[in-house]
Structure 1
């Protein structure tokens, strides 16, 4: 077994010139404006220096400006993302033991790397990674193996952030190495080039570890493969929750009858809701639901073993979805060129999950955020004349298969007419948790066991990108090396990603988006929302062709706006994504952009910044439905009326949860506290008349109890509550529910239950605060302050829901001659 050693002290060293590298001619920079901020900063060791918080403070400084951001503010709260160090010093030149590499650190500790060729650049990127993220590497390299293997029930990222000690086996490494290396070799010359990059990158990591006299074992290819898989598990997969969803269907049928239960389940699934906001208006058909689905099994409600429930919950909810981009075309811009404000929201950590690099070698000039495992490539960034960014798409890359067991055995299953014996993997051990061992079928790891129609079955997990995680680097290699020269080559690069992301792009005249991922084509007899029968008759039929993926360039609207919402009309949501309804936070971004026809970078940034502190439950359409239902009707108490009036007033003021003056209290007074207390009661009041308490609680385990800052204003059943209330009060939808939930469709009964929820919320707050007067209540901003996990950086910042891995603010006014 291999063990993650104790995390050692980060070692700093003096900067001096070891070699005289002839400066490569700087490539022309076509950016008129290029700025960024990474709140976690560039430092990453234990004992963070005071300067480690510099970018966090810049990031925090923008938040209280809300929608009043000026051009001067951009220069104040973002830093340059230009090539080279001009205007970013004092700088130091680092000592490196390799000819052909020069590393200069600027005032923010950002490394500006010049190399004589691509392999030297790979080595230098590995050296910098080990220097700036040695703590993260020590904590993450072995837990990441569990992500590559899809070890059931293991939250690999949680192991990293909790600094858990992990041992992995040679068997685990052999599996990962065999699959990933084979995938890269099968990708031809480009895949083999990525392998060379990885090998040089590993040499750079190990050179730095040796320099620091680190106790860590030398890195290998498998470490890089595993870290890529970890990133994919967190951000780049979707689906794989069919079993838990099918148990809800079974419960609904048992409680309401087969037909009524199915109708309710179809409403809740919202697999293809025509009312949901999409980034692309053109239709891209994917994942149609067949009229007759003979290829599915419905799992008996409550029959999954507890370990299987944990495993399926982990596999279905590992991704994060908080990223956004706002990209405007030249016709919507005051400077006549596209505007690009974009970044991934990957949480707040120190050491950060990303780190910045400025990379220069012959034919290469790029700057942006790199990730551990990036092999000399940038995850998010810019080239000479274009920029790119990602948001998690959550499209349906994962499936669960129901395996028919043979002859009463728990480890033999039927596939294509014969019984097979499950495989066995011993992946390692986790300190305090024990061994990580599991069974496998032809579809993947066995999550656990359940029953279908009372008969014992096994549930296995298929992920389309398993064993191919390293292929993700091909797209970033093209983007980093500048072989992307226009929209067409951007599409071609993005299409190589096995992980599912929405990728935004802009250059000096074009804007574009492409939604990526190895998206399975399912048997036409399979309902993608339910588990697939694993007998071999209903296997995947290949993958969606590149041109069938949602993509667009220069839309008529002049805007590409995405906040992890559905990429395109007609595109089916994954079985794990039941929040693609009429209420989505992207509408708050759109509202900011819709305020004017033409924008500059400051006003686009202002739209992003305002939405980052707004409360969707109040700013969105939900409050319209509540108002239409109860306005002008008698409240059960004067206090209930006062609470409702405060919510309406908060909306009129912009519904922000800001604490501008830093006194620990939100300027909105009691209103945020009121909505936080009310919303779970409201959701229960609307849904319980049809679902009953038990099934409503079961739905809440899937979709969340509340829609709030804790969920980034996603999930929490808000789409059901909103659409049902607005339907009851006269709003017509293109995809109406077949079910009336609140009051079982009786308006008076619904009104009474909503007023009751408001009144009960007031009573709960009064008891908590010891005052009946809402004017005396306050909303605690300190409770929502952002803290950098796992606690090594003491700095905290105001709550905001905006990109954290990097935020780029860019516009180009020129382009290389080649364009494709």
Structure 2
């Protein structure tokens, strides 16, 4: 039985500090052991004249574990454990320092990413087994794991991961299993996370075991090795887990959530097992590497268009907003090579649009008693989005919605050697996984038999480096958006829990997860419980009920990676194997083994390359993947077998790929000609344009360097997409006649001056916490949602406008409290009506438009009427005070523009960090240029 702990007293805090800090000290190791921890520099081909040309950074810091004493001291004195926040200021400083950046100056903003640790930079060395050493450097505390055996290397990786992220790994295995509230308390935030993640992958223990068995049985020697590596990794986690528990230097959150008694040390940190890794992988892969879904909402917006305009014209209107295969969209492979996928069929078959008004979301939550702060019963029908909070000590372990990152945010910039100063390719790239404390990713170096890499891995599944560098190559990824997920309409028979499967009335499988919690120090909620329930079918999980042609149906969601959460381990194993990845072609073959939807980028001393991975299903002829389809054999994926959810997948040659293109950019934009994305918003204006235009200019000038490419990234990262890409058209409409109103004319001049200066959201000087052109930015933030509504709503009508905005949000500025990460999430301008407004305004202005909207909207297509609508809303924006544009939240006072934009690391535990300047930038980032190759 866990003992409940009360709020710590001052005397108790002092005693805990002495106890925990005392037991956490480790004796120094002999210098001979320290010297043995390095790596032969001859294996590192990123060195040039003794200096590294590989650099990286990952804020806020490497150390993500804090003892109870650390947490209490942080609360009282504001101190933080060593290496928990030492990367944040350097990451932040690039905003003000990128202007005059040189290659030599990169070390002011990035860490040396060389292999090994020089003897004079060794901070500590641990030997958890005789066949492995874990060396940490003084500057960052990053673990450099060197094993003499394969098992020892992987054991060390798990041990180091637990040293840095034990509490967070425990959180994520419980999130994946739908057991967070039972583990961390009943705050609504925790309940929301369970309800967000568990229905996507509601696995039983047998389901987890089956995935492990499948890898062993179907992937040959690599599959056996992968599972052996994973077991060694788990063994390392458990070794540290037990040592930390016995030595009383375990994360303090275990005390604050009632798992361990702070006085007696009674309690348990539950051992990890292989199936926990699958649970963590289901969270990570589903959020960052999924693709598709949303077909029911798409169907509702299509129905609304057809009801307003009729079937033929309504469908044309909807397609123009859907922007499939838009000819003006920015592409990663821009040379015209076609990779047809998920295209709109000429004559769709099997589409299952719901009857108007019949759709209802499937009930998820039942039997809830208690809630945050009350003991009242509170039944709900669907998980509710709650405004993000700031950490576990206020509203739960994780802010609700803070992991809703499906749209992706990473970016990549690569230039081939023909256009660089050195003649070697240059790359600046990294994943954007949100800002958390501790970070979801952790840095590590792994050196052992068959493994040689440094970079980041998601904590808890870090048996291999997932993005980083090898001996003479580097790689990274951005989330892609091709369609791996389909929605099926299954016809019901007998009752609501039976359906027709290939002509046979078949029972649905009911999966349940029951959670109960008691009050904890961390959240203060009342005792309570509730039950989650989903129905699983051969076509996936039931998400909605409706009628189609008067017959009752259930809509289900099926993704190709369901039941295959860990299969991608083979691709990551290959990426870490220097004997496998020897050039761009072998790299492409490695990432082809990764099943999730990612864009992969590669650079060595000779070439840059790209490949789009994912289990792309081969659909039946005539099926439209953008809409629900009837669950009949004629419309299933080819070779579909529901037992293990397998099917036929598009082969290597049909995936977008390229080697040696002049340059590559990606900011989660479309991949290539005819390769269709799974959703709205990939049109004429996309934030990828911010990178594409800048890198194209660099390539045209020639002599690209690491510094110049980093400057291009950093400049794009503080640029307002609307100001750079939309203001020219907006001002052209407004100035089609002189602006007579003095107040409006002054606003127009401020906006134009901001545009001319680069449309950046940047401080007047570092640390001022005040933007240059602050008034123009305030006007744009207030104006954009008003002008979009005035531009489109009159023509579309209330119902269709509402349905389309449900499919694609109007705005995602840094100040918006919505979008993938909510407020203070860093990433911005991924989702919005940028391209729609751009096409419509150019059409009104009489300018060329490829792939125009089916109808004009602003002012009904009349320039003078459009101008009047824009000026009216501009006046409303000018009059809107700052405290309404920036209403304030837990982190910021109302009206504080800089703070509203600022990045706030969301606390996953007891340590928090100061807000930093907004920048639209990867969380982990590499800057690399290899001068030599094996």
TM-score (norm 1): 0.91
User: Pick from 351, 360, 370: which aligns with 1:296?
Assistant: 351
2:796 is the counterpart of 1:691? yes
Matched position secondary structure for 1:725: helix
- Kindly tell me: are residues 415 and 29 of structure 1, through their superposed partners in 2, closer, same or farther at Cα, counting changes over 3 Å? same
Report the alpha carbon displacement of residue 416 of structure 1 after superposing the two structures with TM: 1.2
177 and 605 in structure 1: CA distance in 2 versus 1, 3 angstrom threshold: same
1:661 equivalenced with 2:758 (yes/no): no
Question: Structure 1 residue 519: deviation in Å?
Answer: 0.7
1:494 partnered with 2:591: yes
Task: Please give the secondary structure, in 2, of the residue aligned with 1:568.
Answer: strand
Paired residue for 2:920, among 787, 796, 801?
Answer: 801
Q: 1:184: Cα distance to partner?
A: 4.3
CA distance in 2, matches of 1:186, 1:156: 41
- Paired with 2:486 and 2:178, the residues of 1 have a C-alpha distance of 18
Spell out, residue by residue over 1:634-662, the C-alpha distance to the aligned partner (whole angstroms, 9 max, x if none).
Answer: 43632222212211110110111112332
Q: Which residue in 1 is equivalent to 2:455?
A: 368
Residue 191 (1) aligns with residue 223 (2): yes
Are positions 1:467 and 2:585 aligned together?
no
Tell me the matched-pair count: 797
Q: Deviations over 1:530-556 (max 9, x none)?
A: 00111332101221111110000001x
Confirm whether residue 331 of structure 1 aligns to residue 343 of structure 2: no
Tell me which residue corresponds to 2:691. Answer: 589
SS in 1 for 2:922: coil
Instruction: Confirm or deny that 1:134 pairs with 2:166.
Output: yes
Instruction: Give the Cα separation in 2 of the matches to 1:584 and 1:169.
Output: 31
Tell me the residue number matched to 1:604: 709
Deviation at 1:68, TM superposition (A): 3.3
- 1:37 matched residue in structure 2: 57
Q: Out of 840, 844, 849, which is 1:728 matched to?
A: 844
Compare 645-654 and 444-453 and name the one that shifted more. Answer: 444-453
Q: Cα–Cα, structure 1 residues 243 and 500, in superposed 2: closer, same or farther, change >3 Å? A: same
Do the aligned partners of 2:473 and 2:603 also contact (CA within 8 Å) in 1? yes
Q: Counterpart of 1:16? A: 28
Instruction: Tell me whether 1:172 sits opposite 2:269 in the alignment.
Output: no
Of 783, 787, 790, 2:904 maps to 787
Contact preservation (8 Å) 2:199, 2:534? no
Aligned to 1:540: 637
Q: 1:701 aligns with which of 806, 812, 831?
A: 806
| Secondary structure in 2 matching 1:470 | coil
Q: Structure 1 CA distance, aligned partners of 2:613 and 2:882?
A: 50
What CA deviation, in whole Å up to 9, does each residue of 1:331-360 have, x standing for no partner? Answer: 111011010111001111111111111121
Partner Cα separation in structure 1 for residue 705 and residue 530 of structure 2: 55
Match of residue 680 from structure 2 = 578
- Structure 2 CA distance, aligned partners of 1:727 and 1:561? 28
Residue in structure 2 matched with residue 528 of structure 1 by the alignment = 625
Deviates further, 160-169 or 298-307: 160-169
Question: In 2, Cα distance between the equivalents of 1:674 and 1:262?
Answer: 35
2 CA distance for matches of 1:535 and 1:686? 42
Q: CA deviation at 1:460?
A: 0.7
Q: Distance in 2 between the 1:193 and 1:347 partners?
A: 32
SS class of match (1:97): strand
Alignment partner, residue 57 of structure 1: 89
Change (3 A) 1:74 1:562: same
Aligned to 1:305: 360
Q: Compute the TM-score of the two structures, normalised by the length of structure 2.
A: 0.80
Is the counterpart of residue 266 in structure 1 residue 319 in structure 2?
yes
Give CA-to-partner distance per residue, 1:688-710, whole Å, 9 cap, x none: 12221232123222211313124
Structure 2 residue matching 1:284: 3-state secondary structure: strand
Residue 227 in structure 1 maps to residue 267 in structure 2: no
Where does residue 440 of structure 1 map in the other structure? 536
Shift of 1:317: 6.3
| Shift in alpha-carbon separation, 1:341–1:167, aligned structure 2, 3 A | closer
For residue 487 of structure 2, give the secondary structure of its aligned residue in structure 1.
strand
CA contact (8 A) 2:223 2:570 kept: yes
SS in 1 for 2:553: strand
Structure 1 pair 526–169 and aligned structure 2 pair: CA distance change class (3 A): closer
Change (3 A) 1:187 1:51: closer
Report the alpha carbon displacement of residue 487 of structure 1 after superposing the two structures with TM: 1.1
Contact 1:404–1:535 (8 Å) recurs in 2? no
User: Which segment drifts farther, 680-689 or 709-718?
Assistant: 709-718
Q: 1:331 to 1:433 in 2, by over 3 A?
A: farther
The 1:221–1:310 alpha-carbon spacing in structure 2 relative to 1, beyond 3 Å, is: same
2:743 corresponds to: 639
Distance 2:58 2:84 in 1: 11
Displacement after TM superposition at 1:88 (Å): 7.3
C-alpha distance in 2 between matches for 1:13 and 1:715: 48
Q: Is the 8 A contact 1:357 1:367 kept in 2?
A: yes
Give, in angstroms, the shift of residue 628 of structure 1. Answer: 2.8
Name the SS of the counterpart of 1:142 in structure 2. Answer: helix
Q: Give the whole-Å Cα distance in 2 for the aligned partners of 1:714 and 1:312.
A: 23
1:715: Cα distance to partner? Answer: 1.5
Q: Does the 8 Å CA contact 1:353/1:371 hold for their aligned counterparts?
A: yes
> What is the match of residue 755 of structure 2?
651
Q: How far apart are the structure 2 equivalents of 1:269 and 1:537? A: 26
Q: Assess, with a 3 A threshold, how the Cα gap between structure 1 residues 486 and 810 changes in structure 2: closer, same or farther.
A: same
Contact 2:205 2:275 in 1 (8 A): yes
- Asked if 1 retains the 8 angstrom alpha-carbon contact of 2:883 and 2:896, the reply is no
The corresponding residue for 2:775 is 670
Say if 2:721 is the partner of 1:616: yes
Whether the aligned pair in 2 keeps the contact of 1:241 and 1:312 (CA below 8 Å) is no
Q: 1:415 aligns with which of 493, 501, 504?
A: 501
Task: Flag structure 1 segments of 5+ consecutive residues without an equivalent.
Answer: 149-154, 771-776
Q: RMSD in angstroms over aligned alpha carbons?
A: 3.4
CA contact (8 A) 1:636 1:755 kept: no
Q: How far, CA to CA, are the matches of 2:795 and 2:61 in structure 1?
A: 49
- SS of the aligned residue for 1:373 comes to coil
2:117 alignment partner in structure 1: 85
Aligned equivalents of 1:729 and 1:523: distance in 2? Answer: 43
CA gap of 1:639–1:181, structure 2 versus 1, over 3 A, is farther
**Counterpart for residue 456 of structure 1:** 552
SS in 2 for 1:448: strand
What's the offset of the Cα at 1:778? Answer: 8.8
Call closer, same or farther: CA 1:416–1:778 in 2, change over 3 Å: closer
Local SS of the residue matching 2:634: coil
Q: Which stretch shows the higher mean deviation, 728-737 or 483-492? A: 728-737
Displacement of 1:220 in angstroms is 0.7
Q: 1:50 to 1:203 in 2, by over 3 A?
A: closer
Match of 1:773 in 2: none
* Structure-1 residue corresponding to 2:257: none
Is 1:203 matched with 2:230? no
Select between 52-61 and 24-33 the one with higher mean Cα deviation: 24-33
The change in CA–CA distance for 1:787 and 1:312 in structure 2 (over 3 A counts) is closer
Given that 1:166 and 1:429 are in contact with CA atoms closer than 8 Å, whether structure 2 keeps it comes out as no
Deviation track 1:284-339 (CA, whole Å, cap 9, x = no partner) reads 11112112212111123443224469589999965142110111111111011010
TM-aligned CA distance change 1:512 to 1:157, over 3 Å: farther
Any unmatched runs of 5+ in structure 2? 7-15, 48-52, 72-79, 181-186, 251-267, 364-380, 386-400, 518-527, 639-647, 820-827, 887-893
Cα separation, 1, equivalents of 2:361 and 2:925 = 40
After the TM superposition, which of the residue ranges 193-202 and 285-294 deviates more from structure 2?
A: 285-294
Q: Secondary structure at the match of 1:796?
A: coil
Is structure 2 residue 429 aligned with structure 1 residue 345? no
Q: 1:398 & 1:259 partners in 2: Cα distance?
A: 27
Residues in 1 aligned to 2:803 and 2:179: alpha-carbon distance in whole angstroms: 27
Matched, 1:566 2:670: yes
